[in-house]
Amino acid sequence: MSIAEVIYEHSLRLSEQAAREALAFIECLEGRYGVVPPAVLDLDDTERPYHRPAPPPAG
């Protein structure tokens, strides 16, 4: 079983509020270690993920 699966199994036993806190902590770790969120991965690039530029502000 992978570590992601172990984390998932533990998360199933948490209350909704505790699960939200766990998710916030994981997102904090992603930021600390420079993990690219899945929504911004360039799926055409098989070499490395990168951050897409942010869209210009509306207005």
pLDDT of 58 above 90: no
Q: Going by C-beta distance under 8 Å and a sequence separation of 6 or more, which residues neighbour residue 37?
A: 30
* Cα 52 to chain centroid, rounded: 16
- Share the mean pLDDT of the chain: 79
pTM score, two decimals?
A: 0.56
Question: What is the predicted pLDDT for the residue at 21?
Answer: 95
Residue 39, classed as helix, strand or coil, is helix
Pairwise pLDDT comparison (26 vs 47), residue with the higher score: 26
The pLDDT, as a whole number, for residue 50 is: 53
Across the range 7-21, mean pLDDT stands at: 94
User: Quick check: 8 pLDDT over 60?
Assistant: yes
Q: Using alpha carbons, list the distances in angstroms from residue 28 to 14, 24, 43, 55, 56.
A: 19, 6, 24, 23, 25
